Amino acid sequence: MTRARIRDLGITIGHLPPGPYNAITDVPGVWVGHHTLIYDEPNVARTGVTVIIPREGAIWTDNVFAAFHSFNGNGEMTGSHSLSEFGFLAEPIAITNTHQVGIVRDALIAYMVENNLGGDWFLPTVAETYDGYLNDINAFHLDKTHVYQALEAATGGPVAEGNVGGGTGMICHQFKGGIGTASRLVDSESGRYTVGVLVQANYGTRPQLRVDGVPVGRELGDDHTPLPGKETRDGSIIVVIATDAPLIPIQCKRLAQRATVGLARVGGVGHNGSGDIFLAFATGNHLPPGATTLIELKMVPHHHLNPFFEGVAEAVEEAILNALTAAETMTGYEGRTVYALPLDDLQRVVAKYR
Amino acid sequence: MTRARIRDLGITIGHLPPGPYNAITDVPGVWVGHHTLIYDEPNVARTGVTVIIPREGAIWTDNVFAAFHSFNGNGEMTGSHSLSEFGFLAEPIAITNTHQVGIVRDALIAYMVENNLGGDWFLPTVAETYDGYLNDINAFHLDKTHVYQALEAATGGPVAEGNVGGGTGMICHQFKGGIGTASRLVDSESGRYTVGVLVQANYGTRPQLRVDGVPVGRELGDDHTPLPGKETRDGSIIVVIATDAPLIPIQCKRLAQRATVGLARVGGVGHNGSGDIFLAFATGNHLPPGATTLIELKMVPHHHLNPFFEGVAEAVEEAILNALTAAETMTGYEGRTVYALPLDDLQRVVAKYR
Amino acid sequence: MTRARIRDLGITIGHLPPGPYNAITDVPGVWVGHHTLIYDEPNVARTGVTVIIPREGAIWTDNVFAAFHSFNGNGEMTGSHSLSEFGFLAEPIAITNTHQVGIVRDALIAYMVENNLGGDWFLPTVAETYDGYLNDINAFHLDKTHVYQALEAATGGPVAEGNVGGGTGMICHQFKGGIGTASRLVDSESGRYTVGVLVQANYGTRPQLRVDGVPVGRELGDDHTPLPGKETRDGSIIVVIATDAPLIPIQCKRLAQRATVGLARVGGVGHNGSGDIFLAFATGNHLPPGATTLIELKMVPHHHLNPFFEGVAEAVEEAILNALTAAETMTGYEGRTVYALPLDDLQRVVAKYR
Amino acid sequence: MTRARIRDLGITIGHLPPGPYNAITDVPGVWVGHHTLIYDEPNVARTGVTVIIPREGAIWTDNVFAAFHSFNGNGEMTGSHSLSEFGFLAEPIAITNTHQVGIVRDALIAYMVENNLGGDWFLPTVAETYDGYLNDINAFHLDKTHVYQALEAATGGPVAEGNVGGGTGMICHQFKGGIGTASRLVDSESGRYTVGVLVQANYGTRPQLRVDGVPVGRELGDDHTPLPGKETRDGSIIVVIATDAPLIPIQCKRLAQRATVGLARVGGVGHNGSGDIFLAFATGNHLPPGATTLIELKMVPHHHLNPFFEGVAEAVEEAILNALTAAETMTGYEGRTVYALPLDDLQRVVAKYR
């Protein structure tokens, strides 16, 4: 599905080095799985589901600390009360469209029940953005087997970007959007760690798109590439942040809020119609669900966190751009077309400003 | 289903007068609908769904201000990000069990889509407590038609309590629990209003149960009425608060947090395993979803709110007790039995302390 | 200053055992110091300051995790942004009246600067309740030397209660209030710990006062003991909770919110005019301010916390009652008198209900 | 004090037009007053206080809705509990340095008491950033008369920027920082309103400084203009946002959070040592403190807020840049010098990227 990644176009975001895959999967043990539905009969599907497994094969018995920040809460991320109260994740995370959150949530539970994973009950975290411009959202395409397939497909290594999984029908800065990912290696006084990010990018107006500060959206005006309908100006972005550092929940929350910085750099302002909700988890501590004694933890001192904050900001910025450079032009529901960001023009405009 | 209401037993809670039904439906336009599933084949169902419609027939086009407070967030209430950001409800609220939140959420959306109610997308509020002691929760009994039936059944007037709707399989202070409701008439400097409450009560240990301050749970020890398994000590309570006063969202949040007072009076401490999440909405202002001009509002001055706070505390206290006095002994999943609070003994113990 | 403690009157609150002093100082290393100002010339002073030192002699170099919960935020607790962001305390806590928060805050800083304690800058936590009924609050009695004296006076062991320190001029349930303290020994699966509480109690109406569930306030009507002016119905309560358990910040927040339960049991509803703000800290972890490597922590598993929650609820309930039974009748500003809770009548009413 | 404003240098930020003064005072009735202390004997003062009066002459009797957002809470803004609970301001706001928050807070109270403004007690909002690099912060220079002078000096019209008031000793992106202001005219479906911003800018590293996306900080390396000590890399920014639109508190909070966008565009990432706390108030509704009946309000519909969000982002971005272009090179405590951003080089670099 992937056309290119922003870095392959000679455009480098920030100053920190990415990990080997420049993906959330650079955080050891983090797996990603997509299931994509694209068909035109009996109704138009341009949708799917993406799952992130915070700890491969073990999240159910070896929980990770986590927290969220809502920059603009016009969206859904289930499981948020539990995240606030306990500060950990005990299940995979999933991202899909607005009207499929329920089926995905219950499907995650059913999968865990059927596979005898975890305890007596579950409060999974499922987030969403709206794909109703390109997808017939009220056809409710997804069923639980699709979620199972995404779970079974989850793996480490390179992550498909663009028109895949939950990102299939998404639109970003009025170009075709979708899934993007990136990572940064972070050297702190506490040692070297990785910060990885995955976004489902579905927000923003064209004039506000910036690439490394360059006003690309303004330069690539409406004449250049046809704009989709103005209802596409609103939208949402879900950001999932992972790190292998031993953080505590209050620190995951700090990382989550830094996604705002990366988003703002690309041109996000948190429009009213946007559900901009950010989740961060840290695998460096191990939380056995049924611990019978004190749990031993480590914690990066707060004053070592600046490189993590910068890593999150850079990786979010790059992950959004990767969604844009990966996603291909798509025609969908009611014959609507959303065009991909033209890569040659992108390079031309950025070069002009350098 | 109802055996009795606490007030019928000669036990009066607090000093404020209840409304005509002593129910959340005393708030004009608030409707409640239950759908209850009780069967033993092909698997054991003791579950259901309860819907609260904040504004009869019009919530989709005439939104109400709302907010939530989480006393202990080990539970789910979807839609919370939107509640925090916008402070209003645009859809019915539903309460069910932990593993049916997803199907209920998507069913509410499907109902609104099919009936052409509301806008292009929905973020409904669905909350839950766990009924897996009496109900085969992993049989996932509920389907979307049950949710439709609850919506169609919704009406004003008296509200069935105890083993009905979402409360069917619930357990409270280790007696049979479920749905309870109560209301208070509130005389403030800003005029007379109604505060109504509905609870799905599924929390608490027996020794901590108090009725108007009397340690009923301690007096009615384990010998008296058999205790269910100790896994029933944890649990949850969902509280929905309604008022016809013109409050703004920040004030709905204040009311929501006062549910803690009523809960604490009955013996709740917010145990670790409990999802104690409280939602409050106020119908006194009218929010047209597509307003094209400034919206006119009224606001009860903050310093007039004390009677509302006391009304919420009293109504929550009484609604929980009504759940306990209404609910009947139930035998369910794996042959387990949870006994009803014995009414004669309750009266005897309270009398002894007076 | 102390007339009696509630337990000395034969009234036992809850089921958990108190520590040796039944005081916040039962948590090892927690010190309390009061400085009290009572004089009539040149203007009427009934005020003071109370300091709590979370870790004797070492809080500046060995920080403790902490968090707050606001049940009703009509009050001040400085330092709250830092508490939310970092989750720790690096300085003593102080409680005084509403109009002296600033001088106390800067005095704490000056003391730390002069004694070369801590770093380059400070964000201390100072809370307040209003004593303007008995104290000429706009005389701004306190100066920085009084804060120094409270710091120098801080010590472990028994804690003076009632009309002392920050609590000097306070009013609770329309009887004389002030400082109260209590503790509980908590047996959890993670081991035995202590939970200690100190309150500055200045809230509530007389009819709502309950002692172990008994409606003492209703029984001791206005005729019995003269009511102060009705402006005393509003007020505030500051609660400081300490434990030696190794909690993380998110867990301190959970403990802080449980103060609501103890407050509700005594008759608090969080009136509009009340600043009901609760702070909890945990000394079981050690946070060196300038750590150069990962910090090692321990954490009580969340599912071991129920005894802590119950301990907090009981200790808050008892600490408020201790404030009431300790405080003596006081005449102050403009010749106003606030009467102490009559101990013999208290015992009589409680006995009647048993 | 002012060298230039960014717009005078031919650099335009964003697309919305500024108000007549391009200052927070463009919001009708908003007044600003500074008091500046610069002297070398008996100790080095480079400090002061800035007050913002949300409603000239009437804030005490005609309160305004308000809310805050903490992007990184390593700082102080008193009054935040009350802001969260009530959502309004009843007093002027003040900004000063970290160790003078207390004296300023109590001085505001004393001023209101002496002038018989407002009620029986006050919970003022005082925020801070740290000026200890250029100012002998532990000399505690400010006394209450300085606060009174700032209040008396408050007025509408042009606002002094740079090294004035609370901003006197501040440092921003390792150039001399301080006070900056800007405004935007906002055309929404609900009509035309003004958004005004005032910042006390004291954060950031030089390499991260961007001006309208151009990496000015990277281009103007360390060789060019000497860097101050590396302890200046951390810092803080206080943002005060005003609008004359009739917003409710939940909407003020939404505006407050948008300050993050403007800050991120200039190069802020919310470093660990930063207290980045944002306050927004809206004068379009009128809240009489002692209202005896329902209060009439108006509310901009949420879906009309996008222009406000963009206005806040742009005005914050420009206000920070105005602080930088206004502030002059300063030598202070221990002979340290912090250099002003060189304006000609700024223009040169920006031109190069266009």
Q: What are the residue ranges of helices labelled H in chain D?
A: 80-86, 101-114, 144-153, 216-219, 249-266, 306-326, 343-352
Tell if the CB–CB gap between A101 and B105 is shorter than 8 Å: yes
Asked if A261's CB is within 8 angstroms of D270's CB, the reply is: yes
How much is the pLDDT for C26? 98
The answer to whether the CB atoms of B76 and A82 lie below 8 A apart is yes
Strand, helix or coil for residue C149 = helix
Annotated domain spans of chain C: 6-342
**Neighbour subunits, A (≥3 Cβ pairs < 8 A):** B, C, D
- Active-site position among A80, A212, A236, A244: A236
Q: What is the pLDDT of residue A89?
A: 97
Strand partners, B296: D298
* Residue C223 pLDDT greater than 90, yes or no: no
Q: Which residues of A23-39 are buried (b: 16+ CB within 10 A; e: fewer)?
A: bbbbbebbbbbbbbbbe
Q: Give the pLDDT band of residue B40 (cuts 50, 70, 90).
A: very high
Min CA distance, A264 vs chain B (Å)?
19
CB C165 within 8 A of CB C146: no
Between B265, B272, B354, which is nearest C264 by CB? B265
pLDDT at D13 over 90: yes
- Mean pLDDT value of segment C292-319: 98
- Determine which of C84, C91, C112, C121 to mutate to test the interface with D (most D C-beta atoms within 10 Å): C121
- Would you say residue C2 has pLDDT above 80? no
**Amino acid C345: pLDDT:** 94
Q: What pLDDT does residue A293 have? A: 97
Chain B interface, Cβ < 8 Å to A: 70, 72-86, 98-107, 109-110, 113, 120-123, 126, 130, 132, 137-138, 140, 231, 275, 277
- Report cis status (omega within 30 of 0) of the bond before D42: yes
Residue A200's pLDDT is 98
Interface test with B, best of C189, C261, C271, C317 (most B CBs within 10 A): C261
- Helices marked H in A97-192 — which ranges? 101-114, 144-153
Q: b vs e for B78-90, b when ≥16 Cβ sit within 10 Å of the residue's Cβ?
A: bbbbbbbbbbbbb
Which among D120, D250, D302 is the top mutation candidate for probing chain B, defined by the most B β-carbons within 10 Å of its own β-carbon?
Answer: D250
| Average pLDDT for chain D | 96
Best residue in B47, B83, B96, B123 for a mutation probing chain A (most A CBs within 10 Å): B123
Higher pLDDT among residues C234 and D150, named by residue: D150
Taking CB atoms and an 8 Å limit, are D294 and B190 in contact across chains? yes
pLDDT of D1 > 60? The answer is no
Q: CA B21, CA C169: separation in Å to the nearest integer? A: 45
Q: How many CB pairs under 8 A join C and D?
A: 123
Helix, strand, coil percentages, rounded to 5, for chain C: 30, 30, 40
Q: What percent of chain C has pLDDT over 70?
A: 99
Lowest mean pLDDT among A341-350, B33-42, C227-236: C227-236
A-to-C residue pairs, Cβ atoms closer than 8 angstroms: 71
Q: pTM of the prediction?
A: 0.98
pLDDT digits (tens, 9 = 90+) for D257-276: 999 999 999 999 999 999 99
| Residues of B classed as catalytic | 236, 274, 276
Per-residue pLDDT at A2: 66
| Residues of D marked as catalytic | 236, 274, 276
Indicate whether B221 pLDDT > 90. no
Output the CA–CA distances (angstroms, integers) from residue B259 to B12, B264, B313, in the order listed: 18, 9, 6
Q: Write the residue in D77, D100, D130 that is nearest to C81 by C-beta.
A: D77
Cα gap B252→D76, rounded to integer Å: 28
Average pLDDT of the residues in D101-106: 98
A121–B109 CB contact, under 8 Å? no
How do A175-176 and A125-129 pair as beta strands?
Answer: unpaired
SS3 string of C277-346?
Answer: EEEEEEEEEEECCCCCCCEEEEECCHHHCHHHHHHHHHHHHHHHHHHHHHCCCEECHHHCEECCCCHHHH
Mean pLDDT over C271-297 rounds to 97
Residue range D319-329: average pLDDT? Answer: 98
C272 and B309: CB-CB below 8 Å? Answer: yes
D6-342: CATH topology is L-amino peptidase D-ALA esterase/amidase (3.60.70)
CA–chain centroid gap for A257, Å, is: 14
How many percent of chain C have pLDDT more than 90? 92
Beta bridge partners of C88: C65
- Distance between CA atoms of B196 and B20, rounded to whole angstroms? 11
Q: Give chain D's contact residues with C (Cβ, < 8 Å).
A: 70, 72-86, 98-107, 109-110, 113, 120-123, 126, 130, 132, 137-138, 140, 231, 275, 277
Confidence class for position C162, pLDDT limits 50, 70, 90: very high
Q: What is the distance in angstroms between the Cα of D189 and the nearest Cα belonging to chain B? A: 6
Residue B336 · residue B282 · CB < 8 Å: no
Average pLDDT over residues B270-299: 97
Residues of chain B in contact with residue A104, where contact means CB-CB under 8 angstroms, are 102
* Min Cα–Cα distance to chain A from B77, Å: 7
**Which ipTM value was assigned to this complex?**
0.97
Q: Is the pLDDT of residue C165 over 90?
A: yes
* Yes or no, beta carbons of C264 and B261 under 8 Å apart: yes
Q: How far apart are CA D288 and CA C178, in angstroms?
A: 32
| Chain B nearest CA to D98, separation (Å) | 30
The model's confidence at residue D232, banded by pLDDT at 50, 70 and 90, is confident
User: For residue C235, which of C289, C180, C192, C273 has the smallest C-alpha distance?
Assistant: C273
Question: Residue A59: which of A151, A130, A136, A133 has the closest Cα?
Answer: A151
Cα angle at D4 between D341 and D230, to 5 degrees?
20
Are C102 and D107 in contact (CB < 8 Å)?
A: yes
Q: Nearest chain C residue to A300 by CA: give it.
A: C294
pLDDT at D289 over 70: yes
Against chain D, the chains showing at least 3 CB pairs within 8 Å are A, B, C
Mean pLDDT over D66-72 rounds to: 98
Query: Taking CB atoms and an 8 Å cutoff, what residues of chain D touch A315?
Result: none
Residue D2's pLDDT band (boundaries 50, 70, 90)? Answer: low
Percent helix, strand, coil in chain B (nearest 5)?
30, 30, 40
Distance CA A138, CA B113 (A): 7
List the single residue in D with minimal CA-CA distance to B87. D250
Of A261, A269, A305, Cβ closest to residue D272: A305
Instruction: Note down pLDDT in tens along chain A; length 354 residues.
Output: 469 999 999 999 999 999 999 999 999 999 999 999 999 999 999 999 999 999 998 899 999 999 999 999 999 999 999 999 999 999 999 999 999 999 999 999 999 999 999 889 999 999 999 999 999 999 999 999 999 999 999 999 999 999 999 999 999 999 999 999 999 999 999 999 999 999 999 999 999 999 999 999 999 877 778 889 888 888 899 999 999 999 999 999 999 999 999 999 999 999 999 999 999 999 999 999 999 999 999 999 999 999 999 999 999 999 999 999 999 999 999 999 999 999 999 999 999 988
Which of D191, D297, D302 is closest, CB to CB, to B298? Answer: D297
